[in-house]
Amino acid sequence: MHPLGKLALAAREHAYAPFSKFRVGAALEDDAGGVHTGCNVENASYGLTICAERVAVVKAISEGVRQFRRIAVAADADRLTPPCGACRQILWEFCGDIEVILVNPRGDTETMRMKDLFPRPFDAHSL
């Protein structure tokens, strides 16, 4: 398993998911090799829930990081779980066409590019 996938699985352990019980972790690698992790944080008002991928991006941006290489996303599901639509938008806007590594605790993995997950993004070029 990719080392970033192991970090995403570890971040998943910190998830706050009392409602869905669906814990997700993310590990975002920046261009300098630093890693910014995140986990999903639910809220009784589901619209206020924030996904693991967005937590990792926001943490990195808030620390001044602006260039990224790849992200690993870990969820405990039979099928590997790609980022949701909102996360795809945030990942594209802040990270561009990075590598996306999907993992689960059973050791399943799949790697793809953001452009394949989000083929026609809305971004600054759309304005």
Which residues on adjacent β-strands are paired with residue 113? 99
pLDDT value at residue 18: 97
Q: What are phi and psi of 117, to 5 degrees?
A: -80, -30
The reply to whether 93 belongs to the active site is no
* 11, pLDDT greater than 90: yes
| Distance in angstroms (rounded) separating the CA atoms of residues 38 and 12 | 8
The CATH number of domain 3-126 is 3.40.50.1820: no
Task: State phi, psi for 80 to the nearest 5 degrees.
Answer: -60, 140
- pLDDT at position 126: 86
3-class DSSP state of 11: helix
pLDDT at 95 over 90: yes
pTM for the full model?
Answer: 0.94
Catalytic residue among 13, 42, 53, 63: 53
Question: Encoding tokens for residue 88?
Answer: 């795809």
